[in-house]
Homo-oligomer: A and B are copies of this chain.
Amino acid sequence: MPQAPSTRWCPTPEQLMILEEMYKTGVRTPNAPQIQQITAHLSYYGKIEGKNVFYWFQNHKARDRQKLRRRLSRHQQLLQQHQMSLPLPQFHPMEAAASYSSVLHPHQIFHQIISPHFLQQEGTEAMNLISKLEASEGEEDPERPPATCPASYACERVTVSEARPPVPPCCRPTRTLDLFPTRSTGLIREEGSTSKSSSCFTSH
């Protein structure tokens, strides 16, 4: 492949890595001299112009903000939805929230089966942290030798599993799965996409 004209800058992995490092370090809107300098360094790894550097920071910063905004609005929606009654038969708050907008991919989430217990466990993580901090009494989960639960985020203790016997490996049903019904999908996007978190819905 003769390599098309290549109308625009295509950062090499090294360049990208360096730029991201700088971003992490705090660089956001480098001024002309800075850009020059950066460009000079990056040019070692491949063709690049000052404007590329400039645009990169502009875009990166903007997209970062955008990402956050999205997360935020999603989160808010989630909170809001929690207070409303379920609009649709199968549309749960979380789904609605998660699937929302900007990304235009309303997909998400496996709704369907949402069992009743769903709505009651929202207490979660806050509780977790609190109990953790208070070093209260261990409730369920007698045997949790060390650190008890999930550190920061994680999760809520789902008690769902207790509804069913452990199912020793040898007894596992093999045929099984019946899974999720489908439709929705997962959310994708990237890591942050969904509203955040695995926890936290307790409003704050």
Within 8 A of B (CB), among A147-204: 149-158, 160-161, 163-164, 166-167, 169, 172-201, 204
User: Cβ of B18 and Cβ of A107 under 8 Å apart?
Assistant: no
Number of copies: 2
Give the residues in chain B near A105, CB-CB below 8 Å. 185, 187
CB distance from A7 to the nearest CB of B (A): 7
Question: Within the complex, which residue of B14, B38, B198 is in contact with A31, where a contact is CB–CB below 8 Å?
Answer: B198
Q: How extensive is the interface on chain A, given as a class?
A: 35 or more
User: Cβ of B13 and Cβ of A187 under 8 Å apart?
Assistant: no
Per-residue interface assignment for chain A, residues 21 to 61, with 1 indicating a CB less than 8 Å from any chain B CB and 0 otherwise = 11011111111111111111101111111110111101111
Give the residues in chain B near A24, CB-CB below 8 Å. 106
User: Cβ of B33 and Cβ of A92 under 8 Å apart?
Assistant: yes
CB distance from A68 to the nearest CB of B (A): 11
Question: Within the complex, which residue of B22, B39, B79 is in contact with A12, where a contact is CB–CB below 8 Å?
Answer: B79
CB distance from A46 to the nearest CB of B (A): 5
User: Cβ of B36 and Cβ of A118 under 8 Å apart?
Assistant: yes
Give the residues in chain B near A140, CB-CB below 8 Å. 55, 58-59
A129-B54, A185-B185 as given contacts; A40 in contact with B160, CB under 8 Å:
yes
**New A-B pairs, 10, CB < 8 Å, besides A13-B72, A20-B152, A33-B93:** A11-B157, A14-B76, A14-B174, A22-B110, A29-B197, A31-B197, A44-B176, A45-B167, A55-B140, A149-B190
**5 closest residue pairs by CB, A with B:** A27-B186, A26-B188, A50-B158, A62-B142, A33-B94
